[in-house]
Structure 1
Amino acid sequence: MTPGARRVLDSASELFYERGITAVGVDLIAQHSGVTKRTLYNRFGSKETLVATYLLARDRRWRAHVADALETPDLSPGERVTVPFRALREWMRGNPRGCAFINALAELPDPEHPGHQVAADQQQWLLELFTSLATDAGLRTPDDLAHQLLCLYEGALAVQVPATTRSSAETVGDAAAVLVRAAAPSNP
């Protein structure tokens, strides 16, 4: 990526996350990044492509964050299932406006929009990760459990109450641990 393209993407990422995708136009992104609109279009082609690129970059960072958390030594297979919740707690400290993917899905309802597809793919990846971790842990009904965990995860992102002493990610992390223990084969 050229330095100009990097500035455009960095500026767009900040603006899209802070102000919303539909509220931010290419004029503002060009001004904020110090490039011309022509440079923006030469590098990305369209706002839609820039939105998808922004979401893909966030997705890569999030997946790397989860992968790093899964490398924690001495985790039992059951504990590994709840690692995305621990990673989410850490992630939310630096992302107070909630989930960029939920926000994108709310702002981009058209499934043909490339940004919508990136956000939907991120949710599918997380569902598949939960399913894989639950299967590896030998838990009962891993597909059902994965769906329950995804709903908890997404709920934590949708419900952030700043006035409380516990984060929503911490609360759903505890709930996820209860679900994982209940799905253990030794439980009736």
Structure 2
Amino acid sequence: MRTIPDPAAALTPAGERIHDVAARLFYERGIRATGVDLVADEAGTTKKTLYDRFGSKDGLVAFYLGRRRLRWQRFVLDRLDGVAPGLPRIRAMYDALEEWLADASRGCGFVNAHAEIAGTDHPGLAVVHAEKAWARALYVEFSRDAGVADPEIVGTGLFLLHEGAVVASTAGGVADAIAVARQSARALIAGAVAAASPGAADSVVAEPVR
């Protein structure tokens, strides 16, 4: 089986067209509903070129998820640049999520993909799991910076608020889901900071909600 290209590497012009078309169709229509014939046709190329570049449809899906992961991570890190550690970065994560979802009509592309490829040996699963682990690790790091008593538990809780807000704002139709998650995160941090250092939570509670 051909090795899947590095998502961070540039492709040939034909490879980039194939990826761009596949990324749009996989997100808008779903992975199973999108065949390689359609991708090749809309990209103005052939199935042979697609297989030459990506090895298989599974390889193309894994590459698409890898590129999406890189794009999301760069987006988040750009929004975190220059933001103070602790609560400000936690708040900035929810701000970044809200901005990202403004252009994501079908919610989280990783969750959508997981729903279609879970329970298989699909190479894209490792990409999905790595993305979620990365986001959770950020929340744990920021919780530790905030001085909470148990950053692993609190950070995981913040990550679950993040993931729940994604589902609620799309599938659940809760328009203010991210704002509620942001406010809930502040309350969670305040309680955790108070447990670690009684009285220190007052400064957290005083933070404005956006």
Q: Same fold (TM over 0.5)?
A: yes
Q: Are residues 54 and 129 of structure 1, via their aligned partners in 2, closer, same or farther at CA, if it must alter by over 3 Å? A: same
Q: Is the Cα contact below 8 Å between 1:89 and 1:167 reproduced in 2?
A: no
Bigger Rg over Cα = 2
1:32-51 paired onto structure 2 within 5 Å: 32-51=42-61
Deviations 1:73-98 (A, max 9, x none): 4x352221232211000000011110
Q: Secondary structure at the match of 1:183?
A: helix
Equivalents in 2 of 1:94, 1:64: separation in Å?
A: 16
Which of 61, 64, 67 lines up with 1:57 in the alignment? 67
Q: Is the Cα contact below 8 Å between 2:168 and 2:174 reproduced in 1?
A: no
* Higher RCO (C-alpha under 8 Å, 6+ residues apart): 1
Deviation at 1:99, TM superposition (A): 0.0
5+ residue gaps, structure 1: none
Equivalents in 2 of 1:111, 1:181: separation in Å?
A: 41
Q: Are residues 127 and 7 of structure 1, via their aligned partners in 2, closer, same or farther at CA, if it must alter by over 3 Å? A: same
Q: Does 1:186 align with 2:186?
A: no
Q: Does 1:7 align with 2:17?
A: yes
Q: Is the Cα contact below 8 Å between 1:81 and 1:180 reproduced in 2?
A: no
Q: Secondary structure at the match of 2:121?
A: coil
Q: What is the root-mean-square deviation in Å for CA atoms of aligned residues? A: 1.9
Corresponding residue number in structure 2 for 1:138: 147
Deviations 1:110-143 (A, max 9, x none): 3521111111111111111111111122212100
When normalised by structure 2's length, the TM-score is 0.83
Corresponding residue number in structure 2 for 1:69: 79
Q: Is the Cα contact below 8 Å between 1:15 and 1:24 reproduced in 2?
A: yes
5+ residue gaps, structure 2: 1-10, 200-210
Which of 76, 80, 83 lines up with 2:89 in the alignment? 80
Q: Is the Cα contact below 8 Å between 1:111 and 1:117 reproduced in 2?
A: no
Provide the identity percentage: 39
Which of 149, 157, 160 lines up with 1:151 in the alignment? 160
